[in-house]
Homo-oligomer: A and B are copies of this chain.
């Protein structure tokens, strides 16, 4: 039996509805300029045959793919294990779905994969890309810009804001610096005077920005109160030990993320320090269940990760739309509302729980 169910084509639908291919195509793509009775006939034929347009054929002529690549660089177990990307993906997925776009996931295990990603993007298989690059010196972003694909970055890329090469870099990030400031101010407001900071890995902009926020408030912080961590519980433990050894009278800790805060909490308990009475602790991310599940529950800075993802997708799609329209309509100087998308920095919220 020829089980190879050859799916119905436009032609078949046209035949059944007694119209031309062109008309069916018009109906399938919105139905503008086709009179009602015909539209109805075609719709029914589509329904009856279970017609689904062949995306490959469509792409071949339209040069659109209704697909967006999401590039996540170096999903080391450590990084990938936290729910961060999962939530971003969720936000991205929602937004893309709402615009009938597909999500093509590109994970890289390291620089050896970059060429593949570059080739894929340059190959024009997708309409745009959403890129997460974690490290300051990562060559991936540059490579991707080279591919000439519309791109929105997740998190402020290492080279800072502003144009570089062709056009401005568009990214979505949360207000790491501002959030850090809020956290530290809260600790200071609690009357704490020896406020320490466990940083994240300083080759990531988020960690750098949080450190900057810390410094904004603790202008002349004792450098011994700043210890580099790595966003992991183990790193948090290490840092906390260093901190307690260096400066036993520390009375507050701002950890650059919840995971390292959890590590710090453990060491504090182990060393007999009460939280928050002896040492107040604040994290960052509001990563449930880590933050809520910590003992005591963690005061932390919440960022809306899913919203970041959604926003990235939205910016990209808007850019694509604009690009499409600009083909025929000369942009002109005053291009009214909705100009080129620009970067967005989302606000953070301090979530007060028991630890501070």
Contact = CB atoms under 8 A, between A and B. Distances in A.
Interface in A92-129: 93-94, 97, 102-107, 109, 113, 116, 119-120, 122-125
Given A56-B56, A60-B56, A87-B80, A262 B293 contact: yes
Contact of A124 (B54, B77, B106): B54
B295 A266 contact: yes
A289 interface: yes
A21 interface: no
A139 interface: no
A75 interface: yes
Contacts of A67: 104
Interface string A149-169: 000000000000000000000
Interface string A71-98: 0000101001111011101100110010
A55 to B, nearest CB: 5
Contact of A105 (B105, B116, B124, B289): B105
A330 to B, nearest CB: 14
B123 A52 contact: yes
A55 B121 CA distance: 12
Interface string A46-82: 0000101111110110000101001000010100111
Nearest to A83: B81
Size category, A interface: 35 or more
A259 interface: yes
Contacts of A103: 104-107
A148 interface: yes
Interface string A205-249: 000000000000000000000000000111000000000000000
Contact of A109 (B85, B94, B293): B94
A7 interface: yes
Contacts of A54: 60, 124
Contacts of A124: 7, 52, 54
Contacts of A329: none
A337 interface: no
A289 B65 contact: no
A200 interface: no
A122 B52 contact: yes
A310 to B, nearest CB: 13
Contacts of A141: none
A263 interface: yes
Nearest to A58: B56
A105 B107 CA distance: 12
A263 B293 contact: yes
A113 B90 CA distance: 14
Interface of A: 5, 7, 50, 52-57, 59-60, 65, 67, 70, 75, 77, 80-83, 85-87, 89-90, 93-94, 97, 102-107, 109, 113, 116, 119-120, 122-125, 148, 232-234, 259, 262-263, 266, 269, 288-289, 293, 295
29 contacts: A5-B148, A7-B124, A50-B122, A52-B122, A52-B123, A52-B124, A54-B60, A56-B65, A70-B105, A77-B288, A80-B83, A80-B86, A82-B83, A83-B83, A93-B106, A93-B107, A94-B107, A97-B113, A102-B104, A102-B106, A102-B120, A102-B125, A103-B104, A103-B105, A103-B107, A105-B105, A233-B293, A263-B293, A266-B295
